[in-house]
Amino acid sequence: MTSLLSTVSTICIIVIAISTLFLLYRAIKGPSNPDRAVALDTIGINLMAIAGILAIKLETQYFNDIILLIGILAFIGTVAIAKFLEKGVIIERNRD
C-alpha cells in the first residue's frame, strides 16, 4: 500500500471519529428523542465508513459483509425507532 493511501485513510478515520463524538454529544444531550434517533442513525453510517476505510487499511475483504449489514440494520433500527416514536408500538396488531 502506498504511503499516501495509508495517510489519507488514517486522516479519514480520525475525522469520522471526531464527527462520531459530536454525534454522541447530540445523542446524550437530546434534547428530544427524535434528535437521538437521528444521531444514532448517523453513527451507524459513520460505522460503515470506518469499517470501509479499515478494510482498505488492513487490505481485507472480510469487512464487506459488515458494511452491508450495518447499512441494513441501521435502516431497520431507525425505522423501528421512528415507528415507536410516532405510534408507540413497533409491530401493529392485526385489525381483523
Partner 1 sequence: MLHAAVLLPFLAAFFIPFIYRGVKQVHLGWFVLAVPILLFGYFLTFINGVLKGVHTLKTFEWIPSLGVNVTFFIDGLGLFFALLITGIGSLVVLYSIYYLSKAEKLGHFYVYLLLFMGAMLGVVLSDNLFVLYTFWELTSISSFLLIGYWYQREKSTSGALKSMVITVFGGLAMLGGFLLMSDITGTTSIRGIIENADLIVNSPLFTFILILVLLGAFTKSAQFPFHTWLPDAMEAPTPVSAFLHSATMVKAGIYLVARLSLVFAGTDLFFLIVSGFGLLTLCWGSYMAVRKTDLKAILAYSTISQLGMIMAMLGFGTKAAILAAVFHILNHATFKGSLFMVAGIIDHETGTRDIRRLGGLFTFMPITATLALIGTFSMAGFPLPILNGFLSKEMFFKSSLHFEHASPIVEAVSPFFPYFAVGGSIFTFIYSVMIFFRTFTGKQRDTLEKQPHEAPIGMLISPMILVALVVIIAIIPDTFGHLLLAPMVDSVTNLVVDPHIKFWHGLYNPELYMSLAVLIFGTLLYMTRTKWVRIYDVLPGKMSAAKVFDALMNGMVKGSEKVTNIYMTGSLRHYLVYILTFFIALLAITMSVTGGFTLSFDDLAPIALPEVMIAVVMAVAAFGTIFMNNRIAAILVLGIVGYGLSLLFVFFRAPDLALTQLIVETVTVALFLLCFYHLPDLDKEKSSSGTKVVNWVISISVGVIVTLIGIASHSTKMFEPISDYFIKNSYKLGGGDNIVNVILVDFRGLDTMLEILVLGLAAIGIFTMIKLRPGKKGGNE
> Interface residues with partner 1 (CB under 8 A)?
10, 13-14, 17-18, 20-21, 24, 27-28, 30, 33, 36-37, 40, 43-44, 47, 50-51, 54, 58, 60, 62-63, 65-66, 69-70, 73, 76-77, 80-81, 84-85, 88-91
Q: Which residues contact 86 (CB under 8 A, 6 or more apart)?
A: none
Number of Cβ within 10 Å of residue 39's Cβ equals 20
**What sign has the CA pseudo-torsion 55, 59, 60, 61?**
positive
Shortest Å, Cβ 39 to partner 1? 8
Shortest Å, Cβ 4 to partner 1? 19
